[in-house]
Amino acid sequence: MGAADEDALIREYIEENPHHPGPADVRLRRAAVPVWALVNYWRAADGDLERVARDYHLPAEAVQAALAYYRRHEAVIAARIAANAA
């Protein structure tokens, strides 16, 4: 998937959380699931994108958008996951 495709997915599926602004707490637009939570579950599911989509009742493209956002903001999302675990 190219950068333009990832940009389109992010624009379609990702939004800033109005209650917690900033890249660490962005969420899926229609489901309001935080990106960091999807990424954390994706890691626990051994990178199985289809499982994450199925278990969260999301289209695979929404999970792809979350992962694309994660790749662009890996340090911030990883820090958010670590803060949640603490």
At 28, give phi and psi (nearest 5°): -70, 135
Asked if residue 80 lies in contact with residue 20, where contact means CB atoms within 8 angstroms, the answer is no
Looking at residue 75, its pLDDT comes to: 96
pLDDT tens for the chain, 86 residues: list them. Answer: 687 888 999 999 999 999 999 999 999 998 999 999 999 999 999 999 999 999 999 999 999 999 999 999 999 999 999 988 88
Give the domain ranges of the chain. 3-85
Q: pTM value? A: 0.92
The structure tokens listed for 58 are 């999301």
Residue pair 33/40 in contact (Cβ under 8 Å)? The answer is no
On whether the 3-85 domain is CATH 3.40.50.720, my answer is: no
Judged by DSSP in three states, 73 sits in coil
